[in-house]
Structure 1
Amino acid sequence: MSHIADNLLAVQARIARAAQTAERTPDSIRLLAVSKTFPAEDVRAAFTAGQCAFGENYVQESLSKIEALADLRARIEWHFIGPLQSNKTRPVAEHFDWVHSVDRLKIAQRLSEQRPDALPPLNVCLQINVSGEASKSGVAPADAPALARAIGALPKLRLRGLMSIPEPAGDLEAQREPHRILRALFDALVAEGVALDTMSMGMSGDLEAAVMEGATIVRIGTAVFGKRDYAH
């Protein structure tokens, strides 16, 4: 599994270079290793190499992984980053530390109601549909302020910030544009008094563009674990 350790070093170097270009400190950007479709042993290898935060998209797959890595639970931070259906909120509320993909009040309410009292508040981000496509998950930017205020009032949740998954784009400037939209919305919400500290944006192909536009969490899968085989 040494390739995972090598890949992590390469990604961290990319983050550092992008941060330098953006005149930011590298430690202002967290690497979230997206482990969906990869086995628990790959997560363990990444953890052994120093990575502690992992992102998962599929509830059942992630629960199996969390169970297999129960000995590391106190030291691993699990982030749910995929679409979340209302009938799957309970296990996410019970087993995850973060949810990046909240896009409607019903989901937030269920997560709040189902979060165990013994656990700290669940960190959540609003998923924003920066492209405006009907087929894309996420709340429209115009609807985000009202949803943010409603979620911020819920017990057992802590609203941390915004997340987006823009369409792939070819060059750096095209990649920066959707991240710029998310940054403008983030700044507007903060100016209105919404306490946010997180912008979850940027993946393996557009990490640099996201860092330049202020990402605080970059969600990197392929560049850490390799090409995914969705057949498994």
Structure 2
Amino acid sequence: MTDTHQKSIADALAEIRKKISPTGKNPANLIAVAKTFSAEAVAEAIAAGQRHFGENRVQEGMAKYPALRAAHPDLVLHLIGPLQTNKVRQAVAHFDVIHTLDRASLAEELAKEFAKTGRRLPCYIQVNTGEEPQKAGCAPQEADGFIAECRNRLGLPVVGLMCIPPADEEPAPHFALLAKIARRNGLERLSMGMSGDYETAVEFGATDIRVGSAIFGGRSYPAIPG
């Protein structure tokens, strides 16, 4: 790792922090999304003061963070990608926050695992604000009922809502919709905003922003064999 590379991550973090909190008051929680990036890149962000990290896949989080967490016990690991029910046990054991609670079957499995282990992770309910068929999340019109089911019947520690606006639409209306659903359900936390729209998300009340490429640079995905 070169000093130049380390400075680039540190500078990116400093720039984002300044943008999300120009006055230094009540900043949104910055989650550095490290999916596909190495443990060495995460270590550089840690050296720059970053403590909250997001991963899309349970297995990647399990592989990447044990040594980092041993050296830095104050790290907080957020699961921000879809969670399969058969990965619930591993997710609860290795992560600290879940942002993608999106369906009844997952809620049931989380409730069982929380009861079994006594480890209760804060959960965000994912709302599919664009109602995109290929995207996870409960429909906006079903959100109130699902929130009540998770909190009242299952007793899950639901702390807020999460969304990913459609890539080809203005994000502001989606952030406004998520904030409206949260308000009427008495939820204070909003996980919304990524590298391209986090400043807009903060304007609409984001309490947690999930930023990856603006911190670590562009991602290189492995080629899929033809």
Report what 1:47 is aligned to.
46
Structure 1 residues 129 and 42, CA gap change in structure 2 (3 angstroms): same
Report what 2:20 is aligned to.
15
Report what 2:3 is aligned to.
none
Q: What secondary structure, in the 3-state scheme, does the structure 2 residue paired with 1:7 have? A: helix
Report what 2:198 is aligned to.
207
Alignment of 1:181 onto 2:180: no
Structure 1 residues 88 and 73, CA gap change in structure 2 (3 angstroms): farther
Q: How many Å apart are 1:112 and its aligned residue? A: 2.5
Report what 1:219 is aligned to.
210
Residues paired across the two proteins, number: 216
Bigger mean CA deviation after superposition, 216-225 or 180-189 = 180-189
Whichever residue aligns with residue 4 of structure 1, its letter is: I
Q: How many Å apart are 1:142 and its aligned residue? A: 1.2
Q: How many Å apart are 1:16 and its aligned residue? A: 2.1
Contact 2:61/2:94 (CA < 8 Å) preserved in 1? no
Gaps of 5+ in 2: 1-5
Structure 1 moving runs of 4+ over 6 Å: none
Give matches, 1:124-203, under 5 Å. Answer: 124-153=123-152, 154-155=154-155, 157-169=156-168, 174-190=170-186, 196-203=187-194
Q: After superposition, what is the alpha-carbon deviation per residue over 1:133-180, rounded to whole angstroms, capped at 9, x for unaligned?
A: 11111000111112111211335x41100000011357xxx3311111
Whole-Å Cα distance in 1 between the matches of residues 93 and 66 of structure 2?
13
Whichever residue aligns with residue 161 of structure 2, its letter is: L
TM-score by length of 1: 0.87
Structure 1 residues 28 and 2, CA gap change in structure 2 (3 angstroms): closer
Give matches, 1:50-65, under 5 Å. Answer: 50-65=49-64
Q: How many Å apart are 1:73 and its aligned residue? A: 5.3
Q: What secondary structure, in the 3-state scheme, does the structure 2 residue paired with 1:214 have? A: coil
Alignment of 1:69 onto 2:74: no
Report what 1:83 is aligned to.
82
Structure 1 residues 158 and 7, CA gap change in structure 2 (3 angstroms): same
Q: How many Å apart are 1:26 and its aligned residue? A: 4.1
Alignment of 1:94 onto 2:90: no
Structure 1 residues 187 and 228, CA gap change in structure 2 (3 angstroms): same
Whole-Å Cα distance in 2 between the matches of residues 131 and 26 of structure 1?
31
Q: How many Å apart are 1:79 and its aligned residue? A: 0.3
Bigger mean CA deviation after superposition, 69-78 or 2-11 = 69-78
Structure 1 residues 225 and 26, CA gap change in structure 2 (3 angstroms): farther
RMSD: 1.8
User: Structure 2 residue aligned with 1:231, among 207, 222, 225?
Assistant: 222
Whole-Å Cα distance in 1 between the matches of residues 200 and 69 of structure 2?
35
Contact 2:101/2:124 (CA < 8 Å) preserved in 1? yes
Whichever residue aligns with residue 71 of structure 1, its letter is: A
Whichever residue aligns with residue 229 of structure 1, its letter is: S
Q: How many Å apart are 1:84 and its aligned residue? A: 0.9
Q: How many Å apart are 1:118 and its aligned residue? A: 5.3
The sequence identity of aligned pairs, in percent, is 38
Q: After superposition, what is the alpha-carbon deviation per residue over 1:13-43, rounded to whole angstroms, capped at 9, x for unaligned?
A: 22124xx6xxxx6424110110111111111
